[in-house]
Chains A and B, each alone.
Chain A
């Protein structure tokens, strides 16, 4: 197929889509009068453009908006499910680790009070006051 076009055809095409100078307009009018081929091309371009304008589509069919909303809602549900699934997958492991820590604490401290289990043993005075703070007190 020949992809190049003549200067006259180029002018004709330009006049269809962009403003042309008064001089070019006059030139085109004169060419249209004298050149049968250019007149035929002009007619062919008009027909092509008319047919293309009629191809306009204005819908994707019924319930398009509903389908999008459903898709978005479905996506939100999938995210919720993934979050739930993630926690469900690890919840047994997390509870197991906590129980193991509690048992280890009981065995290491040899105490069964709740305070001991949670590491809240009664603190000694020297744990509360640092030795440096003691030294700074007036003698």
Chain B
């Protein structure tokens, strides 16, 4: 076990006995990983921080259930992905309810004026939530495909297939702007 994991274990033990300073240190140590996943999947929206807070509050509530079989960061990322996916699916439902063909046309026009980075961000968030989860872990957070599969609890083949389809969709959507 690494020193980092040792320290996590000590902090968890202290947090279990109500030491808020120890829990705060756990939050500081793992905020980056959780922020990476949540903000990549949800974008820079106010709800992203709410989901981030919910991740750590859920973790606090389950401290007694945490057996240390997986690393704290892995455990947190699993919670983060599930909550971010729920939020994405909730938003997609809400959008589907209110979106009109007129709005879709307006977004299509706006895409012409977006720069490549903005368009990539926009198109990324148009992907199916399950594709976004895979792409976030592999392409943004840099996890290996095996780690991505394990974090999402899906077979390696599914991860590779979702990854390929997500990248293909992005390339097709961005092809106009990606011309050399």
What is the interface of chain A, defined by CB distance below 8 A to chain B? 1-3, 5, 9-10, 13-14, 16-18, 40-41, 43-45, 47-49, 51-53, 55-61, 64-69, 71-73
User: Are A71 and B171 within 8 A (Cβ)?
Assistant: no
For B24, B40, B141, B167, the residue with the greatest tally of chain A CB atoms inside 10 Å of its CB is B167
For this complex, 21 residue pairs linking A to B, each with C-beta atoms less than 8 Å apart, are: A2-B172, A5-B168, A13-B164, A14-B164, A18-B145, A49-B139, A51-B116, A51-B117, A52-B139, A53-B142, A56-B141, A59-B31, A60-B34, A60-B35, A65-B24, A68-B27, A68-B56, A69-B23, A71-B53, A72-B20, A72-B57
CB distance from A18 to the nearest CB of B (A): 6
Which residues of A lie under 8 Å from residue B139 when comparing CB positions? Answer: 49, 52-53
Which residues of A lie under 8 Å from residue B57 when comparing CB positions? Answer: 68, 71-72
Interface of A is mostly: helix
B160 within 8 A of A: yes
Could you tell me the distance between the alpha carbons of A49 and B138 in the complex, rounded to whole angstroms? 10
Interface of B is mostly: helix
Which residues of A lie under 8 Å from residue B180 when comparing CB positions? Answer: 40, 43
Which residues of A lie under 8 Å from residue B124 when comparing CB positions? Answer: 52
Pick from A48, A58, A64: contact of B167, CB under 8 Å: A48
Could you tell me the distance between the alpha carbons of A17 and B165 in the complex, rounded to whole angstroms? 12
What is the interface of chain B, defined by CB distance below 8 A to chain A? 20, 23-24, 27-28, 31-32, 34-36, 38-40, 44, 48-49, 52-53, 56-57, 60, 116-117, 120-121, 124, 135, 138-142, 145, 156, 160, 163-165, 167-175, 178, 180
User: Are B48 and A48 within 8 A (Cβ)?
Assistant: no
Given known contacts A3-B165, A45-B171, is B40 in contact with A17 (CB within 8 Å)?
A: no
User: Are B24 and A66 within 8 A (Cβ)?
Assistant: yes
Instruction: Report the nearest B residue to A48, measured CB to CB.
Output: B170
User: Are A64 and B20 within 8 A (Cβ)?
Assistant: no
Which residues of B lie under 8 Å from residue A61 when comparing CB positions? Answer: 49
CB distance from A36 to the nearest CB of B (A): 12
Could you tell me the distance between the alpha carbons of A2 and B169 in the complex, rounded to whole angstroms? 8
Given known contacts A3-B165, A18-B145, is B27 in contact with A65 (CB within 8 Å)?
A: yes
CB distance from B50 to the nearest CB of A (A): 10
User: Are A17 and B145 within 8 A (Cβ)?
Assistant: yes
User: Are A48 and B171 within 8 A (Cβ)?
Assistant: yes
Could you tell me the distance between the alpha carbons of A40 and B27 in the complex, rounded to whole angstroms? 43
Could you tell me the distance between the alpha carbons of A41 and B167 in the complex, rounded to whole angstroms? 11
